């Protein structure tokens, strides 16, 4: 908490613009909310479970040829498998943390304090967006460390694609956080917002991809497909520039929508 405050204070001191200081103040409060709430434990438990399942199944279950993976020989494959599921963890992050960001201020009546202060509503949106991004960034860092471990133990080779792929995941966080913010600016209750966010980020893309796939459409621009863009880059494939451009479009459109909806929202 103290370290966080000092960091925020230091970052704030780099600018004289009060809007930016307010963004950091909102971000700090939002991160404190995450850290002191129960959701952070749920989130960490989910991450732990997914990692354990992924690594455990890779090491303990034989493949069709009756061969088991080993850390020393197959570390690279295990790392790729882990990172392939990272987008799901990030969607869970957006559902748990971002989905309640705006609507909780109304639901819990804290808007009566915050919105009556000299602060513009877009500033609040950006502060909350950055807080969610920070949690996503920490998640990616955690996955990066684990992936580096397996790669280092496995073949001792850590290539640039790994870091490039993580960069793509960072932009993916922005896109899905934007969607979650948009839902949060619209929904009345945090629980509704969480369900809608999960639907928008996971279920709807699956349905659309299935329907459009039958019709022969390429659905690369949907968030479901874009979730795999980071893993594609790590594997040395994909079209990162095209995918990043699509993610940025998602980010801009959803953030603009969040701000418009939040500005119109009445207490």
CA pair distance 250, 253, nearest whole angstrom = 5
Q: Establish if 119 lies at the interface with another protein (CB under 8 A).
A: yes
Please provide residue 118's backbone torsions phi and psi, each rounded to the nearest 5 degrees.
Answer: -75, 75
* 61: CB partners within 8 A, 6+ apart: 68
Q: Quick one: which segment of 15-23, 44-52, 151-159, 194-202 binds another protein (CB under 8 A)? A: 15-23
The closest of 164, 157, 163, 169 to 76, measured between CA atoms, is 157
Q: Name the minimum Å distance from CB 59 to another protein.
A: 39
Q: Establish if 115 lies at the interface with another protein (CB under 8 A).
A: yes
CA pair distance 261, 253, nearest whole angstrom = 12
Residue closer to another protein, measured from CB, 20 or 158: 20
- How many residues lie near another protein (CB under 8 A)? 31
Q: Establish if 118 lies at the interface with another protein (CB under 8 A).
A: yes
Please provide residue 222's backbone torsions phi and psi, each rounded to the nearest 5 degrees.
Answer: -80, 150
Q: Establish if 128 lies at the interface with another protein (CB under 8 A).
A: no
The closest of 24, 3, 6, 4 to 15, measured between CA atoms, is 24
Q: Establish if 9 lies at the interface with another protein (CB under 8 A).
A: yes
Q: Which of 3, 60, 241, 266 binds another protein (CB under 8 A)?
A: 266
Residues that bind another protein (CB under 8 A): 5, 9, 12, 18, 21-22, 24-26, 28-29, 32-33, 36-37, 108-120, 264, 266-267
């Amino acid at each position: 908490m103290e370290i966080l405050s000092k960091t925020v204070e230091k970052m704030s001191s780099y600018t004289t613009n009060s809007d930016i200081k307010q963004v950091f103040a909102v971000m700090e409060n939002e991160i404190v909310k995450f850290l002191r709430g129960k959701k952070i434990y749920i989130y960490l438990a989910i991450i732990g479970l997914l990692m354990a399942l992924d690594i455990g199944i890779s090491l303990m279950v034989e493949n069709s040829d009756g061969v088991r993976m080993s850390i020393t020989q197959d570390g690279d494959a295990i790392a790729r498998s882990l990172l392939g599921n990272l987008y799901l963890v990030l969607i869970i992050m957006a559902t748990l943390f971002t989905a309640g960001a705006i609507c909780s201020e109304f639901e819990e009546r804290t808007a009566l304090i915050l919105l009556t202060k000299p602060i513009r509503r877009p500033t609040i949106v950006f502060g909350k967006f950055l807080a969610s991004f920070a949690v996503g960034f920490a998640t990616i860092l955690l996955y990066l460390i684990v992936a580096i471990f397996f790669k280092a133990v496995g073949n001792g080779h850590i290539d640039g694609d790994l870091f490039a792929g993580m960069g793509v995941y960072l932009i993916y966080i922005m896109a899905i956080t934007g969607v979650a913010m948009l839902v949060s600016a619209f929904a009345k209750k945090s629980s509704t917002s969480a369900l809608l966010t999960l639907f928008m980020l996971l279920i709807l893309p699956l349905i659309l991809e299935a329907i459009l796939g039958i019709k022969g459409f390429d659905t690369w621009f949907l968030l479901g497909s874009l979730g795999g863009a980071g893993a594609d880059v790590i594997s040395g494939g994909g079209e990162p520039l095209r995918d990043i451009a699509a993610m940025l479009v998602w980010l801009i459109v959803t953030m603009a929508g969040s701000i418009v909806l939040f500005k119109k929202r009445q207490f």
